[in-house]
Chains A and B, each alone.
Chain A
Amino acid sequence: MQRIMNNPDVIVDEMLKGFLKAHSDIVEATENPRVVKAKDIPEGKVGVITGGGSGHKPAFVGYCGKNLCDAVAVGEICSSPTAAAFLDAAKAVDQGKGVACLYGNYSGDNMNVKMAVKMAKKAGITVKTVVANDDVASAPKDQREKRRGVAGEVLMWKVGGAKAAKGGDLDEVIAAAQKAIDNTRSVGIGLTPCTLPAVGHPNFEIKDGTMEVGIGHHGEPGIEVCELESAEKMAKRMVDVVVPDYPFVEGDEVVVLVSGLGATPVMELYVLYDEVDKLLAEKGIKTHKAYVGNYFTSLEMMGATLTIMKLDDELKELIDMPANGMGLKQF
């Protein structure tokens, strides 16, 4: 294991120290060392929070900032933050207008958020939630509620954060974020596994020369393992999973997000994006905006995710709003 670290047991805390120093213009610490808060949150708005395990940089703390999430709860690597951290994130940003907690569909996160919502209620804070479930490969369509949240969460935060910044009330923010995720589908392809620093060896295997289609952000198995293919074929495989599931059809305007899983060179993501764009253009699907880069990763896994979101007028306006977080800067 070739890693830059001191002690794997405190790697998350050490990462946060560096993160807060490097991005002190955007974020600040709170009393809870596992809660990061945006600087200069406008007065009187609905709070927007998220949280999740570490190892997915820039998610989740990278989406804390202007017109994005107001606070983020930080967990151990690939492990949900505590209910207390979610609660403290809500407390840190509640201005009496309620808090929207926009997070991903994983059992630990579900439990901790559920308890945080209960505890917040006792403290007089209304927290409503949207659970991202954009990963097509993780369950069949008729069991959409079982699907995981992956890179589509970035678009959910972008939309929810923008809606709150525009002065939307809690129900409007929740409705916009829910619409964003309902209109979004993702799929991932993994080329190599990842290793938890404190474990020291990969906990799943992807053999050299093969790739796993539909892999999750923690190596959860996908739809099939096949031989490593060209970017053109990979793009086709991903488009063929994502497009028919929603389904995205001719005339749709969409946002396309291609995210690396951590160790794939960004150069390759552009090769993949070009192939995806060609396929979408062939289908008459119009790309309004594209994001290509490391937006939601899995430690040092190689591979990429493709996320597509169908726009309507409201989503388009919210996606186009400026934003300033470490992981997403838009002017």
Chain B
Amino acid sequence: MSIFKNADGKPVLLKMVKGIQDNKAYLGEVDGLIGDGDHGMNMNKGFSLFEERFKDEEFGFAEGLDELGTILFNEIGGSMGPIYGNILMGMAEAGEDLEEIGVADLAAMLENGLKELQDIVEAQVGDKTLVDTLSPAVDVLKAAGEAGKDYKEALEEMKDAAAKGRDSTKDMVAKFGRSSRLGERSRGVLDAGATSCCIILTAMADGIIELL
């Protein structure tokens, strides 16, 4: 299938939640190397709050993204609250009127999420942040949409791009956030935000593939 129904999106959101829950300790470890070690904990708290409140509710893909983003934004704080809040709410905004979501639509949603993020942070590709994961994922999905690629193939390519983006942060020196204070000492480890972003995008892609 070349689309999935927006209204059917609940399992995709729950898969994203599970992705974060399953990686709580791992994200904490990654963050602990050059950050303060609370990334897994904070992300898990926000995503689990969403699960708790909405697991028994009916909601669609865009609606779920909006609710999840709102919880992260309003209740988590730190840097990750506004960062993921803006991304997810930005995605939701671009998708709220869609009944069916095709590759190009999903690309447009992700692109709007990235745009909303860049309204509040100046980070660009190469700065060792989650932009290094998100930006190539958007590019690949957009190209796939324009080329009319098969949905599953497009999502697999997006997962690869996200993973490559995540891995690229390993050799970078952090320019933003707490790890930027480390300068050269931040080289050699993954960025925690880039890592969690890859987990979320991968879970989202896998969830959508199951709906196709």
Most A Cβ at <10 Å: residue of B75, B83, B178: B178
Establish whether residues B42 and A79, one from each chain, have CB atoms under 8 Å apart when the complex forms: yes
- A126 in the interface (beta carbon within 8 A): no
Establish whether residues B181 and A76, one from each chain, have CB atoms under 8 Å apart when the complex forms: no
Most B Cβ at <10 Å: residue of A82, A106, A216: A82
Q: How many residues of B contact A (CB 8 A)?
A: 27
Most B Cβ at <10 Å: residue of A75, A112, A196, A218: A112
Q: How far is the CB of B36 from chain A (nearest CB, A)?
A: 5
Contact of B37 among A80, A138, A203, A220 (CB under 8 A): A203
Establish whether residues B77 and A112, one from each chain, have CB atoms under 8 Å apart when the complex forms: yes
Contact of A221 among B37, B77, B182 (CB under 8 A): B182
Establish whether residues B36 and A196, one from each chain, have CB atoms under 8 Å apart when the complex forms: yes
Q: B176's closest neighbor in chain A, by CB?
A: A107
Establish whether residues B38 and A107, one from each chain, have CB atoms under 8 Å apart when the complex forms: no
Q: B80's closest neighbor in chain A, by CB?
A: A108
Chain A residues whose CB sits within 8 angstroms of the CB of B28 once the complex forms: 199
- A111 in the interface (beta carbon within 8 A): yes
Cα distance A198–B36 in the bound complex, in angstroms = 11
Establish whether residues A199 and B185, one from each chain, have CB atoms under 8 Å apart when the complex forms: no
Establish whether residues B36 and A80, one from each chain, have CB atoms under 8 Å apart when the complex forms: no
Question: Per-residue 0/1 for A45-63: is the Cβ within 8 Å of any B Cβ (1 yes, 0 no)?
Answer: 0000000010000000000
Cα distance A77–B78 in the bound complex, in angstroms = 9
Contact of B77 among A82, A148, A218 (CB under 8 A): A82
Given A112-B82, A138-B181, A199-B28, residue A79 in contact with residue B176 (CB < 8 A): no
Cα distance A221–B28 in the bound complex, in angstroms = 20
* Count: A-B pairs, CB below 8 Å: 86
Establish whether residues B185 and A221, one from each chain, have CB atoms under 8 Å apart when the complex forms: yes
Chain B residues whose CB sits within 8 angstroms of the CB of A115 once the complex forms: 82, 120
Cα distance A80–B177 in the bound complex, in angstroms = 12
Taking CB atoms and an 8 Å cut-off, the chain B residues in 73-99 that contact chain A are: 73-79, 81-83
- B189 in the interface (beta carbon within 8 A): no
Establish whether residues B73 and A108, one from each chain, have CB atoms under 8 Å apart when the complex forms: no
Q: How far is the CB of A75 from chain B (nearest CB, A)?
A: 5
Chain A residues whose CB sits within 8 angstroms of the CB of B125 once the complex forms: none
Q: How far is the CB of B179 from chain A (nearest CB, A)?
A: 9
Given A115-B120, A216-B181, A221-B185, residue A84 in contact with residue B38 (CB < 8 A): no
Knowing that A83-B77, A218-B36 touch, tell me 17 more A-B residue pairs with CB under 8 angstroms.
Answer: A53-B78, A80-B77, A82-B73, A83-B82, A107-B121, A107-B177, A108-B79, A111-B82, A111-B121, A112-B77, A112-B81, A112-B82, A196-B36, A198-B38, A198-B41, A220-B178, A221-B181
Q: Which 9 A-B pairs have the closest CB atoms?
A: A79-B78, A82-B77, A108-B79, A220-B181, A111-B82, A199-B37, A84-B74, A203-B37, A108-B78
